[in-house]
């Protein structure tokens, strides 16, 4: 474990972990902390930085890059992203059965999402459903007729 005492390698591995973790978490947030860790790793290559400075640079770069990117791509004037157009009224496919009071999972845009319904019907695996609401990482779905046009 002598190798982990080198701050260049340690920060590089932290960055790598964050970038890999981004593939398993919805949203694009963790990758910015990976970028922050890699910036610290590069700075440690050229100069001797103490731990407080390393942590400060990590926090400033991570949060700064996150805020800069969100501000740049956020079309809403109040600062909150409006993703409802990307979800509401769109079609998803049930991966794990969804029943009122018992969440399941659906697939939408190539990703698996936790899903809930207020419908009394059991939404079985493979069924097409319509997204009626989104709250954070939970999609609220309702059954649709098979002959309706589907936009997945």
Query: Which pLDDT tens digit goes with each residue over 18-35?
Result: 989 888 876 678 888 999
Mean pLDDT to the nearest integer, 39-61: 90
Q: Decide which of 36 and 136 is more confident.
A: 36
What are the DSSP E strand ranges found in the chain? 91-96, 104-108, 111-116, 128-135, 138-143
Residue 115 pLDDT greater than 90, yes or no: yes
Mean pLDDT to the nearest integer, 79-86: 54
pLDDT at 62: 92
Confidence of residue 71 (pLDDT cuts 50, 70, 90): low
Confidence of residue 123 (pLDDT cuts 50, 70, 90): very high
- Angle, helices 7-22 vs 30-46, to 10°: value is 160
| Side-chain-facing half-sphere of 53: CA atoms under 13 Å | 8
Angle at CA 132, nearest 5°, toward 119 and 23? 110
Judge whether 32 and 69 are in contact, CB under 8 Å.
yes
Average pLDDT, the chain: 82
Residue 146 pLDDT greater than 80, yes or no: no
Residue 73 pLDDT greater than 50, yes or no: no
Q: Decide which of 151 and 32 is more confident.
A: 32
This prediction has a pTM of 0.48
User: Which of 11, 32, 12, 37 minimizes the C-alpha distance to 22?
Assistant: 32
Q: Cα separation of 96 and 119, whole Å?
A: 16
């Amino acid at each position: 474990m002598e190798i982990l005492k080198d701050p260049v390698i340690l920060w590089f591995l932290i960055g790598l972990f964050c970038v890999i973790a981004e593939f398993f978490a919805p949203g694009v947030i963790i990758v910015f902390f990976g970028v922050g860790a890699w910036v610290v790793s590069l700075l440690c290559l050229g100069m001797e930085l103490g731990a407080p400075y390393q942590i400060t640079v990590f926090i400033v770069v991570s949060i700064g890059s996150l805020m800069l990117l969100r501000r740049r791509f956020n079309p809403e004037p109040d600062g909150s992203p409006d993703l409802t157009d990307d979800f509401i009224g769109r079609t998803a496919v049930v991966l794990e059965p969804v029943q009122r009071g018992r969440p399941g999972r659906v697939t939408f845009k190539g990703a698996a999402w936790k899903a809930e319904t207020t419908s009394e019907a059991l939404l079985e695996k493979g069924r097409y459903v319509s997204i009626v609401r989104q709250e954070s990482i939970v999609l609220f779905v309702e059954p649709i007729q098979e002959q309706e046009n589907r936009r997945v």
